[in-house]
Structure 1
Amino acid sequence: MKNIYQEDDRYLKAKKRFNKIKAFYLHLLIYFSATLTIIFINLKFTPELHWYWYSVVGGGIPLLIHACKVYVYNNYWEERKVHEILRKEDNKQTWK
C-alpha cells in the first residue's frame, strides 16, 4: 500500500517540476519576443540612440533569476525539510 502512495507522490512531484519548467520556457519566449520587438522599434525610429539595452537588461535579470530558481536552486531547501520531517515521523512510529 505504501508503494502506491510513493508512486503517486513521485508523479505529483514530477508534474510540479514539469509545470515550473514550462513556466520558465513561456517566460523565455515572452522575453525574446518582447526584446526583439523593442529592438526593432528602437532601431527603426531612433537608430542613433540605443535605449533598447535598458529593456534587455531589465527583462534579463528576472529571467536569469527564474532560470536559477528552476534549474539551480530546484527547491533544495524544501526537499531537505520534507525528508527531515519524514525521518522524524518514522522515528516517532518506531518508538510506539
Structure 2
Amino acid sequence: MENNLEKLQYKFAKSRMKEIKAFYIMLTGCILLSPYLIFINLKVNPEFNWFWFPLLGFGISILGYAFYLFTGKNWEKKKIKQLMEKESRNSKLL
C-alpha cells in the first residue's frame, strides 16, 4: 500500500511540476512578446496605441492561470487525501 501511495504522490508532483513549468513558459513568452508589440505599434502607427489590448489580454490570462495554479488547486489536494483515506479505511475493513 505504501508503494502505491508513493507512486500516486510522485505522479501528482510530476503533473504539478508540468503545470508550473507551463505557467513560467507562458509568462516568459508574454514578457518577450510585449516589447516587440510595442515596437511594432510605435513604428507603424504611433497615433493609436493598440498594444494595450494584447497586453491587457496577456495580463488577464496570466493572472487567471496563476490564480488557478497557486490557489485553485488546493481542492484537488484535499479531495485526493479524502479519497486516499477512504480507500485506506475500506482496505482495513476487508
Q: TM-score, normalised by structure 1?
A: 0.81
How far apart are 1:53 and its partner, in Å? 0.7
How far apart are 1:45 and its partner, in Å? 1.5
Structure 1 residues 7-86: aligned runs within 5 Å = 7-73=6-72, 75-86=73-84
Moved over 4 A (4+): none
How far apart are 1:66 and its partner, in Å? 1.0
The percentage of counterpart residues that share the same residue type is: 33
> What is the number of residues matched between the two proteins?
94
For the aligned residue pairs, the C-alpha RMSD in angstroms reads 1.7
Q: Deviations over 1:62-89 (max 9, x none)?
A: 111111122222x212222222222222
Q: Which moved more, 1:85-94 or 1:17-26?
A: 85-94
The unaligned stretches of length 5 or more in structure 2 are none
How far apart are 1:10 and its partner, in Å? 2.2
Q: TM-score, normalised by structure 2?
A: 0.82
